[in-house]
């Protein structure tokens, strides 16, 4: 199963990317979360950095960045399949939607999920 959400935002790519990856500001724009922190003393997102986000429902999800390419793309994986019976990954991409207006952006966030066994991770 995959799903994707898209919205056009009038902002410079570098500014928008920085905002979406700034865990100190995450709760300013993410209505689903009540907590968002980087783990292991990390102060900014990047490949190998782990984060924990907690939804208002109480569900918490630990992720790890597997790609980080400012100001356009990043991707995370959900490594703990024992807690969630799915193998999951997500990505975010920023794309200029007008060749004439560099401040017209399309922010896309997509997630792919595949059923996995909690025992063997397949």
Segment 43-51 shows an average pLDDT of: 96
pLDDT of residue 53: 92
Say which residue, 54 or 74, is predicted with more confidence.
Answer: 54
Q: How far apart are CA 51 and CA 9, in angstroms?
A: 25
Segment 98-111 shows an average pLDDT of: 45
Domain 2-115 of CATH type 3.30.465.10:
no
Sequence-distant (≥ 6) Cβ neighbours of residue 36 within 8 angstroms = 23, 26, 27, 30, 51, 52, 53, 54
- Determine which of 16-25, 35-44, 99-108, 113-122 has the lowest per-residue pLDDT on average: 113-122
User: Comparing C-alpha atoms, which of 26, 27, 52 is closest to residue 39?
Assistant: 52
Is the pLDDT confidence value at 85 over 60?
no
Alpha-carbon torsion 60, 64, 69, 70, what sign? positive
- Predicted TM-score (pTM) of the model is 0.69
Q: How do the domains of the chain map onto residue ranges?
A: 2-115
């Amino acid at each position: 199963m995959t799903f994707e959400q898209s919205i056009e935002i009038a902002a410079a790519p570098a500014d928008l990317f920085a905002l979406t990856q700034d865990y100190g500001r995450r709760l300013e724009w993410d209505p689903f979360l009540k907590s968002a922190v980087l783990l292991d003393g990390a102060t900014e997102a990047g490949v190998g950095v782990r984060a924990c986000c907690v939804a208002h429902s109480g569900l918490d999800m630990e992720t790890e960045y597997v790609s980080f390419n400012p100001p356009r793309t990043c991707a995370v994986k959900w490594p703990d399949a024992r807690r969630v019976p799915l193998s999951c990954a997500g990505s975010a991409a920023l794309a200029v939607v007008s060749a004439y207006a560099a401040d017209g952006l399309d922010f896309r966030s997509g997630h792919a999920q595949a059923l996995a066994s909690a025992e063997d991770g397949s």
